[in-house]
């Protein structure tokens, strides 16, 4: 196998170039899915791939596939990629590194004239973050058969704008049926989004799988009333009930440490007036654990707590589990390729489980899949302060290229 080396400075310059699309004043990116900024970065990505001679295809939920031909185009393609959408206050590396690291690997193949046995594809998955349209990893979920296209189209943001309408508006509702695309394998490069690699001074995380995740939406209903004229004993304060539930959700996660996590990340208080007792509160719950059986227990405790806490306060509620992503184990043969690719590049490494959700978790249902992690400063992610170095990003892209070529060699 030819010893190909990626161009680390070119990768870094590309990361910084795309960071200008949706740049925030604090050094991050706000590039929500299916916005005009998302269209802009998609157009940029498409043009760069086509400049390499790649054919770019788009499926019915906006997933983008940039294909470079192989010696045997009858083989299913080896995919590498992630996502270009961000959180409202996102950083420069989450998701983006996986797409642009793949682009750098593709550029290296192109400029050296290296011919792979199988076609190679870069993928940009739609709505990985779930910050505008819940649930997260929506379009990779459609690709893998976890959701229908109609379900995806029907999702609305907090302003009532539908996914399907916005997808068509930005011009990225493609003609290919989601899931019709078949992969020989998929590799996803990503920052760790946690502190382990940095703390242990390891360059590469060889990802074994992804922990299980469940999202819930809860609406607590009481009665609006004047804060000055309504006695305390006669109030039906929805915010009070929600506050006690938030504390209880934290306690449920703590009861199942060290591996469990749980949080309320979004809350809407209505009518949100300083002299009105809140009559309705909407909030979300995020539970995660590597063992789905433990998640079952945590879910049961959540539902029991809703009754135990809210009924004495004379409050009613509606609770819905909107997303269930079971724990995932990645393909051993791909993990081996990453391990070989890491050793070939001479980087330190450790095996690791992903605490965050990724498109790879859904793709693992329909194709051999794995991930590669690199460190991020302080483990900070989903934050404008998110940071990684040129050397760390380059290391990830090099291991990605090495792993893809190792797997391709086995297909020859």
Report CA-CA distances (Å) from 5 to 10, 70, 160, 188, 405: 12, 19, 47, 19, 12
Q: What is the CA radius of gyration of the chain?
A: 23
| pLDDT tens, position by position, 187-206 | 999 999 999 999 999 999 99
pLDDT number for residue 206: 98
For the chain, give the number of residues.
412
Residue with tokens 């490494």: 349
| pLDDT tens, position by position, 274-314 | 999 999 999 999 999 999 999 999 999 999 999 999 999 99
| pLDDT tens, position by position, 60-112 | 999 999 999 999 999 999 999 999 999 999 999 999 999 999 999 999 999 99
Please tell me the distance from the alpha carbon of residue 361 to that of residue 369, in angstroms, as a whole number: 8
Decide: 18 and 41 in contact? Cβ < 8 Å. Answer: yes
Torsion of CA 266, 267, 272, 276, to 10 degrees: -170
pLDDT number for residue 2: 59
Query: Model's pTM, two decimal places?
Result: 0.86
Report percent pLDDT > 70 for the chain: 100
Domain extent listing, the chain: 8-211+327-411, 212-325
Please tell me the distance from the alpha carbon of residue 84 to that of residue 48, in angstroms, as a whole number: 14
Same fold, 8-211+327-411 and 212-325: no
Class level of CATH domain 212-325: alpha beta
Cα 309 → chain centroid: 33
Second CATH level (architecture) for the domain 8-211+327-411: 3-Layer(aba) Sandwich (3.40)
pLDDT number for residue 337: 98
- Residue 1: is its pLDDT beyond 80? no
Pairing of strands 280-289, 267-270: antiparallel
- For residue 236, what is the DSSP state? B
Say whether 134 sits in a helix, a strand or coil.
Answer: coil
271-275: which pairs have CB atoms within 8 A and are 24 or more residues apart? 271/224, 274/227, 275/226, 275/227, 275/228
Residue with tokens 């539908």: 162
**What residues does 215 pair with on adjacent strands?**
286, 323
């Amino acid at each position: 196998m030819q010893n190909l080396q990626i161009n680390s400075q070119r990768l870094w310059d590309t990361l910084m170039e795309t960071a200008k699309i949706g740049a925030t004043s604090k050094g991050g990116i706000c590039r929500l899915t299916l916005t005009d900024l998302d269209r802009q970065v998609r157009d940029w990505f498409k043009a760069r791939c086509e400049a390499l001679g790649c054919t770019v295809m788009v499926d019915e939920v906006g997933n983008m596939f940039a294909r470079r031909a192989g010696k045997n185009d009858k083989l299913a393609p080896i995919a590498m990629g992630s996502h270009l959408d961000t959180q409202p206050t996102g950083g420069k590396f989450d998701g983006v590194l996986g797409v642009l690291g793949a682009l750098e690997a593709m550029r290296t193949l192109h400029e050296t004239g290296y011919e792979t046995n199988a076609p190679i594809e870069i993928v940009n998955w739609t709505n990985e973050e779930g910050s505008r349209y819940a649930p997260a990893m929506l379009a990779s979920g459609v690709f893998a058969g976890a959701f229908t296209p109609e379900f995806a189209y029907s999702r609305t943001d907090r302003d009532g704008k539908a996914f399907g309408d916005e997808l068509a508006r930005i011009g990225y509702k493609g003609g290919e049926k989601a899931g019709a695309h078949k992969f020989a394998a998929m590799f996803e490069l990503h920052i760790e989004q946690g502190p382990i690699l940095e703390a242990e001074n390891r360059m590469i995380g060889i990802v074994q799988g992804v922990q299980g995740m469940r999202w819930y939406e809860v609406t607590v209903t009481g009665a609006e009333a004047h804060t000055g004229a309504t006695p305390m004993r006669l109030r039906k304060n929805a915010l009070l009930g929600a506050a006690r539930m938030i504390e209880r959700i934290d306690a449920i996660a703590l009861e199942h440490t060290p591996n469990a996590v749980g949080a309320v990340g979004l809350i809407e208080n209505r009518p949100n007036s300083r002299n009105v007792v809140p009559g309705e509160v909407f909030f979300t719950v995020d539970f995660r654990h590597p063992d789905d059986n433990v998640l079952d227990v945590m879910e049961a405790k959540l539902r029991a707590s809703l009754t135990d806490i809210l009924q004495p306060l004379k409050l009613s509620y509606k609770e819905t589990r909107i997303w269930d992503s079971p724990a995932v184990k990645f393909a051993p043969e791909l993990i081996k390729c990453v391990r070989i690719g890491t050793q070939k590049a001479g980087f330190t490494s450790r095996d690791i489980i992903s605490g965050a959700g990724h498109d790879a978790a859904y793709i693992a249902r329909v194709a051999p899949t794995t991930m590669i992690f690199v460190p991020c400063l302080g483990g900070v992610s989903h934050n404008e302060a998110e940071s990684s170095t040129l050397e760390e990003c380059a290391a990830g892209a090099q291991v990605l290229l090495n792993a893809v070529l190792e797997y391709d060699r086995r297909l020859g």
